Amino acid sequence: MIDKHSAGRTGKSQSSAPGAMLLPHASLLPVAYNREALQILAFPSSPEELAHPSADLAQSIGARLVSKSSTGSRKFVAEFQSGNRTYRCRTFSICFNGNDGDDSGGARTLILLERRASPSGILKRRAWENYALTRRERQMVDLLIQGMTTKEMARALSLSPNTIKSFLRLIMAKMGVSTRSGIVGKVLDRYRPQ
């Protein structure tokens, strides 16, 4: 079952919202899941490309989220990769109607998949907030951190090199630096914001 609030979104990008699945005690075939869980575990395919989403999800859970213990019992991993992103995998035992017995008909395990924030992403967001950068200025800083030249940035953003230079001068003024490397330094927190 796909969450109806997110069912209308399409595309192959990975979601940053948490994925959630509810599994029976003795099976990996989910009884409920949201679109984000399907998107995270199906990547790089999109959920729309899957012929049998529940079965594909169960297979992906077994291959990516379950590690076998020495006793043969099922244990879920703490982290896993999906594309370039790292996700935390947290599990919770769920009791229905106060019954915590081993009733095979009830859904028993809630799995929550949360994207782990990258350190560079945290630093960029902090710089964006500290210096009140616009969306376009944030794009420029992002490309600058990737090591792009002015011409490469102009091609990537379909702007002229002179426009890129103007934006970079505005960013330098906001950050109180005089060089492109000064911008990168502020983002990487080498200097304290004033």
Each residue of 22-66: pLDDT tens digit? 988 778 888 889 999 988 988 888 888 888 888 888 888 888 898
**What class has domain 119-187?**
mainly alpha
Would you say residue 9 has pLDDT above 80?
no
Q: Which residue has the higher pLDDT, 85 or 174?
A: 174
pTM, to two decimals: 0.52
What is the percent of the chain where pLDDT is above 90? 19
CA gap 154, 84 in Å, rounded: 25
Q: Which residue has the higher pLDDT, 192 or 76?
A: 76
Check residue 16 and give its pLDDT.
66
Beta bridge partners of 82: 85
Q: Which of 9-18, 44-53, 173-182 has the least mean pLDDT? A: 9-18
Q: Where are the domains of the chain?
A: 19-115, 119-187
CA gap 4, 61 in Å, rounded: 22
Residue 119 burial by Cβ neighbours in a 10 Å radius (0-12, 13-18, 19+): exposed
Q: Which of 63-72, 89-98, 119-128, 164-173 has the least mean pLDDT? A: 119-128
Across residues 139-145, what is the average pLDDT? Answer: 85
CA gap 122, 187 in Å, rounded: 10
Check residue 171 and give its pLDDT.
92
Would you say residue 183 has pLDDT above 60?
yes
Q: Record the tokens describing residue 61, joined without a space.
A: 């859970």
